[in-house]
Structure formats: C-alpha cells, structure tokens
Amino acid sequence: MDLTSLLGPLIAFGMILVGLILEGGHVSSIIQITAAIIVFGGTIGSIMVAYPMADLIFSIKELGTWLKNPSANIDELLRDILDLAETARKESLLALESKREDIQFEPLRQAVKLAVDGTDPAIIKDTLELAKEVTFEEQEVAVKFWEDCGAIAPTIGILGAVLGLIHVMENLDKPEMIGPGIAIAFVATLYGVGSANIFFLPMGKKLKRKYILEGHAREIVIVGIEGILSGLNPKVIQEKLSVFAHDVIAEE
C-alpha cells in the first residue's frame, strides 16, 4: 500500500478544514449537495464525451495502481536477473525453467519462458520492447484521463458558481438571501478547484511516475535477458544494470 496516496488527501483536507475553523467558518457552510452534483456530475459527463467507455473503465481501475506500491521492486528484480545469469552460466539456459515460478515480475517470467523455449534472442528483444511500448501507451491513457478531470473540474465549478449567482440575481428583492446565496454559489468553485488540485492532477502525476518506474523495470529485463543470452559474465550484466539502481547487491 502506498501510504502517501492515503495520507496526502487526508492531510490536505485536514489542513483546509483547520484553516476554515480558525477563520471562524463552519464545516456545514461548505457542504452543498447541489454544488457537488453540478461539479462531479458535470465532470463525469464531460470526461465521458472525451473518452470511450473502455478507457474510462480502465482509468478508474488504475486507481488500484495509484493506491499500491510500484509492481516491480527494482532491487529484487536485479537480484533475480543476476541469479538467472549465474544459473545460466554454471548450468544452462534450460536450468532457468526451474526458477521461473519464483519470479514475481511478469515480463521477466515471460522473457525466461521465451529463452528456455529456444526463441531467437532478436525476437525476444523485439517482443519485450513492443510489449513495453504498447503497455506504456495504454497507461498514458489513464494519466491523461485524470489530468483531464483536473482540467475540467474547476471549469465546471465556475459554471456552478455562475448558475448560483443567476439564482441570487433572481432574488435581489430579498436581501436576506443574497449573502447565503453567494456563499453557496462559490462552494461549487471550491469543489471544482479542490478536487482538481487535491485528487485529479496529483493522481495523474503519481500514476505517470509509477508507469515510468515500470518502464525502467521492463528495460532492466530487456538488458538483463539480452546479456544472459549473449553469455555475458554476471558481473558485466550487473555493471550494465547499475544505471538503474546504484545499490545493486552483488551475490558474490
């Protein structure tokens, strides 16, 4: 579990509420169902115009990636590759099959399977690179989705504020309703700007970073398996992979 994904919004909301209370405000003054319907309903509707249903469902599912730690542990992945290199050097490529089930990172398992099956090294490299590119392109959809939510929500919030002010203008003959009416109108702007800057935009940024880290892990697999198939010394493979993690742990 990525604790910052949970703590971040809690701290942001908490500090905003503390500031509101210290200024003499009341939490009840920023709870407005109508504003929430306008902002979040409008944002959902707008984003549905921009994205096919499959992309929308995929992007929502990627909230799981946002909440979890990166799928690949770089240090663990490096150890796995160096272990595979040692096994292939001391025994044979076929001996790698016995280690495949213990590998956590799926692209490395796939690479080992292809290697054990005797697939041409050039084909293995092309397959892994294509998978990396296609996967990243698909992941970018989720990044753009949440960034677009962050761009749309404040605008819908302004629209909600305008609608509220229109209602206030219709009641100028009732002075006691003007102040509360304006306050309620601006709650929509608060919801739009707040959701964009506390949730949507930061979520997009974190997802992008996690996808980049996954891309690094896939590149490690490509470089590592290429070195193993070329019969390189594990120390040489380790040196080549050290660019991805300066604390590569040597097994010997």
pLDDT single digits (tens) 38-61 = 999 999 999 999 999 999 999 999
Are 12 and 123 within one domain?
A: no
Are 121 and 238 within one domain?
A: yes
3-state secondary structure of 135: helix
Are 214 and 227 within one domain?
A: yes
Domain range spanning residue 25? 1-31
Are 82 and 197 within one domain?
A: yes
Reported as a pLDDT band with limits 50, 70 and 90, residue 234 is confident
Are 4 and 87 within one domain?
A: no
* CA dist list (Å): 46 to 131, 150, 160, 204, 205: 31, 12, 14, 17, 21
pLDDT digits (tens, 9 = 90+) for 26-40: 888 788 888 899 999
Reported as a pLDDT band with limits 50, 70 and 90, residue 250 is very low
Q: What is the pLDDT of residue 249?
A: 41
pLDDT of 252 higher than 60: no
At 91, which amino acid appears? E
Are 102 and 165 within one domain?
A: yes
Please state the separation of Cα 58 from the chain's center in Å.
Answer: 12
**Prediction pTM value:** 0.82
3-state secondary structure of 97: helix
Per the structure, the count of domains in the chain is 2
Rg (CA), the chain: 26
- Determine the Cα angle at 248 with ends 245 and 252, to 5°: 165
Residues 61-77 as b or e (16 or more Cβ within 10 Å = b): ebeebbeeebebebeeb
Q: What is the pLDDT of residue 46?
A: 95
The dihedral over CA atoms of 208, 67, 193, 164, expressed in degrees to the nearest 10, equals: 130
Are 101 and 150 within one domain?
A: yes
Are 86 and 153 within one domain?
A: yes
Are 231 and 193 within one domain?
A: yes
Q: Rounded to whole angstroms, how far apart are CA atoms 94 and 85?
A: 12
What average pLDDT does the segment 191-197 reach? Answer: 94
Tell me the backbone φ, ψ of residue 219, rounded to 5 degrees: -70, -35
Q: Average pLDDT over the chain, rounded to whole?
A: 88
Are 40 and 26 within one domain?
A: no
User: What proportion of the chain, given as a percentage, has pLDDT over 70?
Assistant: 97
Reported as a pLDDT band with limits 50, 70 and 90, residue 221 is very high
pLDDT digits (tens, 9 = 90+) for 83-112: 999 988 888 888 888 888 888 889 999 999
For residue 47, the number of C-alpha atoms closer than 13 Å in the C-beta half-sphere is 28
CA quadruple 134, 138, 140, 141: dihedral positive or negative? positive
Are 166 and 53 within one domain?
A: yes
What average pLDDT does the segment 214-237 reach? Answer: 90
Are 177 and 196 within one domain?
A: yes
pLDDT of 173 higher than 80: no
Q: What is the pLDDT of residue 91?
A: 86
Reported as a pLDDT band with limits 50, 70 and 90, residue 246 is low
Reported as a pLDDT band with limits 50, 70 and 90, residue 202 is very high
